[in-house]
Amino acid sequence: MRHLETSWDLLDQARAGAEPAQAALAQRYAPALQAYFRRRGVDAHQAEDLSQVTLIELFGGALEQADPRRGSFRSLLGTLAFRVWRAELRRRGAQKRGGGEAPLALEQDVPAPDEASGFDQEWFARLLELALTRLADEHPSYYDAIDACVVRGQPQAEAAAALGCALQDVRNRVHRGRRKLHAYLAELIAAYAPEPDQHATEVRFLGEALGL
């Protein structure tokens, strides 16, 4: 099993002002943050800017709110991302009304449930991307079968013809690839989930969602 520092390991270091830990947290979560903002209709450049604003808020004081007993680090980031997005909408509204650039006022309230879950969706998608990349590196034949039959929904018979192998080989590769993906995702989630019960819940949820 690969060793990954948990978010809470990095969190303790980042609270102490360790720039490498802050950079590691930013690198770990920036892709999901950018996807969260892109899904809301902004271009890649603006999504990157809003992600940076979110991370600045995190390391500028919000990090002190992070506590495993009060919820996941991801929940804190989701809350911050929602506040940044809502502030951006207010800024756009002010511009349309001719009021110029309004400052980003980040209010201290909780995001709406559907918005809070939006970041979770991007986070899960990011984990799946990482797991698929690892599968491609370590078991390319499994990856090809999973990509064809699970990701793109190609019938197994067609995938077998395209991959130049027997139908039973494709079936075996899909089955084994799913098991590998589930193991990779469990390992990744372990690095992000601070408590064992949370880890088990998220592994089960993601496995069911992906049919693993």
CB-based burial label for 58 (10 Å; 0-12, 13-18, 19+): buried
Domains of the chain, residue spans = 1-111, 113-212
Q: Single out the residue of 82, 105, 80, 102 nearest to residue 92, CA to CA.
A: 102
* Predicted pLDDT at 106: 43
* Predicted pLDDT at 173: 95
Judge whether 1-111 and 113-212 match in fold. no
CATH topology of domain 113-212: Arc Repressor Mutant, subunit A (1.10.10)
Do the Cβ atoms of 132 and 143 come closer than 8 Å? yes
* Predicted pLDDT at 112: 46
Q: Single out the residue of 170, 151, 172, 150 nearest to residue 161, CA to CA.
A: 170
pLDDT, tens only, 135-178: 999 999 999 999 999 988 999 999 999 999 999 999 999 999 99
* Predicted pLDDT at 21: 85
Predicted structure pTM score: 0.61
* Predicted pLDDT at 49: 93
* Predicted pLDDT at 203: 67
Q: Which residues of 82-93 are buried (b: 16+ CB within 10 A; e: fewer)?
A: bbbbbbbeebee
The ranges of the chain with pLDDT < 70 are 1-8, 65-72, 94-118, 191-212
Distance CA 87, CA 82 (A): 8
Q: Single out the residue of 194, 156, 186, 163 nearest to residue 1, CA to CA.
A: 186
Q: What is the CATH number of domain 1-111?
A: 1.10.1740
Distance CA 35, CA 75 (A): 16
* Predicted pLDDT at 111: 45
